[in-house]
A and B are shown apart, each in its own frame.
Chain A
Amino acid sequence: MSILKNVGYWLGLPILLILIWYFATLGDVSTFVPRPLPLWEKFASVWLGENILTDVVPSLGRLVLGLATSIVLGIVLGVLIGSIRAARWLSEPLLEFLRAIPSTIMIPVLLLIIGMNDQMRITVIVLGCLWPVLLNTITGVRSIDEVLSNSAKVYGIRGWKRVWHLVLPGASPSIMAGVRQSLAVGLILMVVSEMFASANGIGTLITNFQNRVAVPEMWSGVLLLGIVGVLLSAILALIQKGVLKWYDGLKAASHGN
């Protein structure tokens, strides 16, 4: 029953919108306006054929690699900066400056320095995705409860054990919030980095369609990116449900449940 309810919740409004869209565009002939059925046909022929291997998979590969690097780097640096007062004091102004730079502006710079390759595109993703994870990790580490921290100290839990048993789990709700933000930023940067200079990828293909004024194909690319975004956040939600099981329970319990 609850599964049915969930499916209805997720699909109800989209189906309704597609129906409205279908009837509203029945008589329309403008080439710039997409229509549901032709769009779906294009989507299948453009993205579910061999392009899935030559463009979609490389794009997603770069995104996953960039995200993974950002998460690992962000957590490691965040735990260090968050735990050491001197490191925080030293790095704070620099971090404020660096995070204010839109990472897309680094694409021309990185093109010159690194060249037109995957390393450049992954670097762009990392430069954008690192900050949400890093800053949220610092906040998470700093906000660990004092009594809990004292309990750990009293029982001799220090060094690596402290990081593993106290700091990381204590900061995990904040870290997960950072990862969620990074995901959205990463998807944008993945496409943008491919629009500039690339031999393959979803962004490259969409730009090619634009150059050829292949409007339905372009729209199918937009649809693909939407689907990728939804799938990624669904995967993240699943991971989060596992990692933050205790946190959800704690919240529910303290709300008098």
Chain B
Amino acid sequence: MATDTNGIRSIRGDVRLHVENLSKTYHGRAGAVEAVRSLTFDLHQGEFACLVGPSGSGKTTLLKMISGLLEPTGGIVALDGKRVQGPAKGLAVVFQEYARSLFPWMTVEANVELPLKTAGVPKAERKARVLEALNDVSLGHALKSYPWQLSGGMQQRVAIARAVASRPTVLLMDEPFAAVDAQTRGELEDLVRKVWREHDMTILFITHDIDESVYLGSRVIVLSSSPTVIQDDIAVDLPDERDQISTRALPRFAELRTQVYEEVQFAKTNAGGARVERAA
């Protein structure tokens, strides 16, 4: 297994998310289809891990299993040491389909507030947290708007605010910027980096965009084709202070990008087995 090769575990403290031998086999009329073979990785406090893989590499299946929306065939998902069975407290998810993940009959404020209300947070604290989260994503002025009155990028910012306000142990993001235009995408990437650093969050970010994974993450996990295993786990040693122009111009960024790119290319032909050796 390609875990723990870069010493992250010994430096960073607590394991927030523990995934062990996770597998999923779908049983359909055409017989059994093995989507995910075996995945094992840990996510530590404060990590920003990006999961990349070729399309059809079981990324969404993995996300659904981690978030408790889909029961795995085998293996364990644990959040803060507690096994995940069904949607767990302490997990927040930002979906790709922003227009379909916010409640259209509620204002922006009510959307962000609802998870807190459900969790029984007292009203005064609730209001403060909602305002703080919306200010974090520069939408403090849109409290009373409805989601459909906002642009796509703004709607996704509301979804991010909703996740941040719930103070999750781990934040899952499922290709959250795949459906917005390139410029908005850059802004949202920087926004997520900012929120991550300010709140010391732990994020698992699923994407098919190699540049995005290197730019955002402190770590990039490359998945193989289905049946999925972890093909490689790369530490991103870029400076913490990142910038759309200067960071992407760094020689190290280009190196990492090439490395991940090659891994993904290789992953397209590699199913069900971890890469034994790779070019340095």
Residues of A at the B interface (CB closer than 8 Å) are 145, 147-148, 150-151, 153-157, 161, 165-166, 169, 172, 246-247, 249-250, 253-254
Of B101, B119, B162, which contacts A147 at CB under 8 A? Answer: B101
* Interface SS of B by simple majority: loop
**Structural contact, B118 and A161, CB atoms closer than 8 A:** yes
* Inter-subunit contact B105/A169 (CB<8 Å): yes
Could you say which residues of chain B place their CB within 8 Å of the CB of A157? 114-115, 118
B67 within 8 A of partner (CB): yes
A150 CB to nearest B CB, Å: 6
A249–B103 alpha-carbon span in the complex (Å): 13
Whether A250 pairs with B148 at a CB distance below 8 angstroms is: yes
In this complex, what residue of B is CB-closest to A161?
B118
Residues of B at under 8 Å CB distance from A? 67-69, 87, 89, 91-93, 95, 97, 100-106, 114-115, 118-119, 146, 148-149, 162, 166
Q: In the complex the two chains form, is B101's CB within 8 Å of A246's CB? A: no
Interface centre among A148, A150, A154, A166 (most CB of B within 10 A): A154
Interchain CB contact under 8 A, A145 and B118 = no
Contact across chains for B166 and A250 when beta carbons are under 8 A apart: no
Chain B's closest residue to A169 (CB) is B105
List 11 contacting pairs A-B, 8 Å CB cutoff, sorted by A: A148-B100, A150-B101, A154-B87, A154-B91, A154-B93, A155-B92, A155-B114, A155-B162, A156-B89, A165-B103, A246-B104
List chain B residues, Cβ under 8 A from A145.
100
Chain B residue with the shortest CB-CB distance to A172: B105
Q: Give the docked Cα–Cα distance between A254 and B146 (Å).
A: 13
Closest chain B CB from A241 CB (angstroms): 14
Instruction: Tally inter-chain residue pairs, CB-CB below 8 A.
Output: 64
Instruction: State the main secondary structure of chain A at its contact with B.
Output: helix
Given A147-B97, A155-B118, A156-B118, also A254-B87 (CB < 8 A)? no
B142 shortest CB reach to chain A, Å: 14
Complex alpha-carbon distance, A251 and B162, angstroms: 24
Q: Among the interface residues B87, B92, B146, B162, which one has the most CB atoms of the partner chain A within 10 A?
A: B87
CB distance from B19 to the nearest CB of A (A): 17
Q: Are A148 and B101 in contact (CB under 8 A)?
A: yes
The smallest C-beta distance from B179 to any residue of chain A, in angstroms, reads: 12
Do the beta carbons of A155 and B101 come within 8 Å of each other? Answer: no
Indicate if the CB atoms of B105 and A246 lie closer than 8 Å. yes
Asked if residues A154 and B149 are in contact (CB atoms below 8 Å), the reply is no
Which A residues are in CB contact (< 8 Å) with B119?
Answer: 156
Given contact pairs A147-B95, A147-B100, A161-B118, A154 touches B148 in the complex (Cβ within 8 A): no
| Residues of chain A within 8 A of B68, CB atoms compared | 153-154
A169 to B102, CA, bound (A): 13
A154 B103 Cβ-Cβ under 8 A: no
Knowing A148-B103, A169-B105, A246-B104 touch, does A155 contact B166 (C-beta < 8 A)? Answer: yes
Q: Which of B87, B97, B102, B149 contacts A153 (CB 8 A)?
A: B87
Q: Which of A148, A150, A161, A249 is within 8 Å of B146, CB to CB?
A: A249
Cβ 8 A contact of A166, one of B67, B97, B103, B166: B103
- B118 surroundings in chain A (CB, below 8 A): 155-157, 161
Is B104 touching A154 in the complex (CB atoms < 8 A)? no
**How many whole Å from B20's CB to the nearest CB in chain A?**
22
**Structural contact, B114 and A153, CB atoms closer than 8 A:** no
B69 touches A153 (CB 8 A): yes
CB pair A150 B95 closer than 8 Å: yes
A174 → chain B closest CB, angstroms: 14
Complex Cα–Cα for A254 and B162 (A): 23
Task: Please tell me if the beta carbons of A151 and B87 are within 8 angstroms of each other in the complex.
Answer: no
Q: Complex: how many Å from CA A246 to CA B106?
A: 8
Contact A156 B115 (CB under 8 A): yes
Partner of B149, one of A150, A172, A253: A253
- Give A151 to B68 CA distance when docked, in angstroms: 12
Given contacts A153-B87, A154-B93, could you give 18 more A-B pairs where the C-beta distance is less than 8 Å? A147-B97, A147-B101, A148-B100, A150-B95, A151-B95, A151-B101, A153-B68, A155-B87, A155-B114, A155-B162, A156-B87, A156-B118, A156-B119, A246-B105, A246-B148, A247-B105, A249-B149, A250-B104
Alpha-carbon separation in the docked complex, A66 to B225 (Å): 60
Complex-state Cα separation, A165 to B162, whole angstroms: 16
Neighbouring B residues of A247 by C-beta, 8 Å: 104-105
